[in-house]
Structures are given as C-alpha cells and as structure tokens.
Amino acid sequence: MPCVPIQNSAELMLDPQVAALGMLAPEPGSGVAMVAMPFNVDGEKPPIRTPSPTRAETEAMREQLDAAIAAGANPFDRLFG
C-alpha cells in the first residue's frame, strides 16, 4: 500500500520533486507554468514553443470544424488522407 501525502494542485506544483524532474515549464509569452513534455531528447525536455490558443482562437477553430462537418467533409482526411 503506497504511503504518500495527498496534495492539492497548488502543493503539487511547489513539490521539490516536480521541480527536480522538470515537470513544469513556463508558457511562452505569459510565464504561466504548464506541464512540460513528458519525454527527453538527448537528455533534455523539448521546450514549449507556442502559447496555448486563446478562447477566441479555440472557438474559431471549433466553428470551422463544425462547418466542415456540416458540409460533409471528413476533418481527418487531411491527417490520414
């Protein structure tokens, strides 16, 4: 049976082991801590290169996707076609 302290999100982000493993990385442009890439390349975690999309950008993407689906397009054709 594991015996570890149960942490909330704020405590987890301040945990020394999280810092030692480099599990958080700043988001470009905002400095907000985000979960870093879960793997290493040549001993280093790949950097986060772009910020997360804004709410407006996400809604615009969803509208485009909904319109494509309504028009009968398969949105995965570009990926797997």
pLDDT in tens, 9-63: 889 889 998 889 888 888 888 878 888 888 889 988 888 888 888 899 999 999 9
Q: How far apart are CA 23 and CA 40, in angstroms?
A: 11
- In this prediction, residue 81 has a pLDDT band, given cuts at 50, 70 and 90, of low
Eight-class DSSP state of 68: H
Q: Please check whether residue 48 is in contact with residue 25, taking contact to mean a CB–CB distance below 8 angstroms.
A: yes
For the chain, where are the alpha helices, taking DSSP H only?
A: 9-14, 16-20, 55-70, 77-80
Q: How far apart are CA 60 and CA 64, in angstroms?
A: 6
pTM equals 0.54
SS3 26: strand
